[in-house]
Amino acid sequence: MKIFVPPFEEWKDRYRQNPYLRGQSVEVLQDRFRYLFENIMSLRCDGKAVFNWFGDKDHMYLLQAFVDTYEELKTRGWKSSDLPQDFLSSMEAGIPKPTYPNPAPGVLPYSKRRVQAPGRLFKYGQEKYLGQLVSHGILRICHASKYNDPSLNSAIKDNELEFTLLPKPGDVKVETLEGEPIDMQVIGFTIRHPVDYYVSCFSRRFAPRLFGDFGADCCVVIYDPKAFLEELCTRLAEKIPMREIRGYRVHYLDPHNPQGKGMPIIPFTKHIRFTYQAEFRIAAHPWETSPTLEEIDLELRLPTDCLELIRR
């Protein structure tokens, strides 16, 4: 993995030239500060929770957003001492829990895994379900709308059928029917996916904090993603006729400062606050659309050395 050094002063200058957060309220900015801070924190193998200043391009995207948010808050005369106690408590609840002097969850079992290859994909969850995947190849596939459930924790709950963009008003031209410009202070618009779909989610990295964030007592290491994903797609298409099955790494998007051209592809786009999860997913659209898709249990036929269960 290539490591990038954050050019903080350059980022600050860039934000001053394009203050895209200028129209947002202090409450919105403080919430943004919270979830970006939670993302930047990581849990080291020795069990220490640390502020991670370095990483890959996705992590640099996070850090730049964090620096931009802090710069905007400073222009409002904001200081970290201004944060209310309930805000600090909620931020503390979202960062990884240190275990030092004990090793972080899963680190020792992972170091003693049967196959010393690093692993290419990981699925975190409960052993009562993932144990069936390793022993019998049984994998349950859920529909995307299932994850918009208030009973799920904040690392899992998300509306997988829509994404809301909140660009700077100056970047969006709004006019009356007569062509007169309309001055907008804050603009937001939501892109909705037209139908529900099936989704199976994985992480591209072994990260000790994900055990706690997902409420997981184990993870499955997938050593041969190509064989695994091909088998998953084959068995899925056998169960239900599919119009389309695709697999991509998830693109994490900042709703206040979206990067790239064109509209987000909803099944493969998530809010920047989920960046640390480094997700890869399979999304499948049935030929017959239905407002109530049922969960599917697949029975995969995999080589015995393709998967390994790691307990936390």
At 184-213, the pLDDT tens digits run 566 678 899 999 999 999 999 999 999 999
Give yes or no: residues 174 and 269 share one domain.
yes
Give yes or no: residues 150 and 197 share one domain.
yes
Strand (E) positions, 114-223?
121-125, 138-143, 162-165, 189-192, 198-203, 218-222
Total domains, the chain: 2
What's the pLDDT score for residue 228? 96
Give yes or no: residues 82 and 117 share one domain.
no
End-of-domain residue from the set 94, 126, 154: 94
Give yes or no: residues 183 and 278 share one domain.
yes
What pLDDT digit, counting tens, does each position of 57-78 carry? 888 888 999 999 989 998 988 8
Give yes or no: residues 304 and 256 share one domain.
yes
End-of-domain residue from the set 94, 120, 147: 94
Give yes or no: residues 112 and 89 share one domain.
no
User: Closest by alpha carbon to 139, among 229, 72, 77?
Assistant: 229
Give yes or no: residues 73 and 126 share one domain.
no
Mean pLDDT of the chain: 87
Give yes or no: residues 162 and 63 share one domain.
no
Give yes or no: residues 116 and 265 share one domain.
yes
What pLDDT band is residue 183 in, cutting at 50, 70 and 90?
A: low
What pLDDT digit, counting tens, does each position of 138-180 carry? 999 999 999 999 999 889 999 999 999 887 766 666 666 677 7
Tokens of 297: 């249990």
Let me know if residue 101 belongs to a domain: no
What's the pLDDT score for residue 58? 82
Q: How far apart are CA 157 and CA 151, in angstroms?
A: 8
Give yes or no: residues 248 and 189 share one domain.
yes
| Domain limits for position 138 | 107-311
